[in-house]
Amino acid sequence: MKSLFARIMCRLALCVICLMLGVPALAGVRLEAPARAARGDAFFALAVSDQPAECFVFLWRGKAFAARAELADEAGGQNSALWRAAILLPVPLDEKAGSLELGVAAAAFDGKADKVAPQALTRLEVYDKARPVQKLTVDKKYVNPPASQQERIRKDREKVRQALARPLPERCWTLPLARPVPGGVSSLFGMKRVFNGQPRGVHRGLDLRGASGAPVQACADGQAALVDNLYFSGNVVYINHGEGVFSAYLHLSEARVEPGERVRRGQVIGLVGATGRVTGPHLHLSLIVQGHAVDPQPLLAAECAPAAVSATSVHTGSQAQ
C-alpha cells in the first residue's frame, strides 16, 4: 500500500515539476479496441494513460459512458504506473452505419461525462452475422396474449426498464464471463423467430440446455436488480454487474436470491425451469450492455458441451428485447 501511495505521489510531483519547467507533462491517452465488430455483439475497449485520471469517458454512438480508472503497472516494466479503464460497448442489431467512431478522454468522476472532448479516436467497421430463421409452436396465449394480460405485460416491461436504469458505478465483471450452466447452445442470439406461423422479431438472448432443476450460476459478481415472475419470461433474475452491464436468467423454476442481494461469480442464483413462453426446460441468458441486448456467447467461458443449433429448439420470450 505504501509503495502504491509513493508511486502516485512521485507521478504527481513529476507533473508539478514539468509544469514549473515548461515541459509538457501529458503524454496522452491510448485507446485499444477491435478493428471491427458485428451487429448484435458487444466489444471490449481499454483506455490507458500514464498521467493520473479519476475516470475515462468513452464516446460511442452519440453517448458518453464513464468508467472509473484503476492504477496498474505496465507488464514487465518498473516504475511504469498506468491509469486504465475497461468497458463493454454494444453494437445494436439494428445499427445502420457501416463504421462507427469511438473516442475517449480522461476526466474527473463528477457526472459531467458529456462535456469532454476526445483525446484519442479510433474507428470500427460494423458487419453482419448470419441470422437463421427459427420456427416454433407454443401456447397461443403467448403469441396473441389475451386482453386481460396486456396490463400485466406493460407492467413487466416497466419493471425491467426500471431495473436496467439503476446505476452501479463500480465494475464487478471480468472476462470471460462464467458459464451459468454447462449445457450447449440450443438457440442462438439474433435468430429470426416465427411463432405458430407468425413472425415475432428476433431472439435477443442465448438459450442453453439444462435439465429442470439444474443449478444456474451467476456470470459475474454483482447485485440482484430484479427477481420476479413475468408473463413471457417466467421466473427471472436480473443481475447488475456495474458500468452498464447486466445479465438476465429467464424461465427459472425458482430463484435463489433476493432483490438487492450482492452475488458472487459462480453463485447459484436459481434453478433451470420451463416457466413463461417456452417449449421445454432450458436457460435463456440475456446480456444487456449500455441498454442494448447483445450476444452473450462471444464473452462466455469455453463451452462444456458442443454447440448444436436446431430450428425446433426451445424458445424464450425475453423482456430485454
For residue 280, the 8-state DSSP code is: S
Residue 99's H or E segment, with its range, is strand 99-107
The reported pLDDT for the residue numbered 149 is: 86
- Judge residue 148's burial from the number of C-beta atoms within 10 Å of its C-beta, 0-12 exposed, 13-18 middle, 19 or more buried: exposed
Kind of pairing, strands 120-127 and 36-38? parallel
Q: What is the strand order of the sheet 42-49 is part of?
A: 29-32, 42-49, 81-90, 70-73
What would the pLDDT profile of 179-226 be if each residue is shown by its tens digit?
A: 999 999 988 898 765 444 444 567 889 999 999 999 999 999 999 999
The list of the chain residues with pLDDT below 70 reads: 1-27, 73-80, 109-114, 132-144, 192-201, 302-321
Least Cα distance to 246 among 231, 262, 225, 266 occurs for: 225
DSSP state letter for 294: E
Residue with grid cell 504527481, as numbered in its chain:
12
Q: Over the stretch 29-71, which tens digit does the pLDDT of each residue have? A: 999 999 999 999 999 999 999 989 999 999 999 999 999 999 9
φ, ψ of residue 163 in degrees (nearest 5):
-60, -40
SS3 20: helix
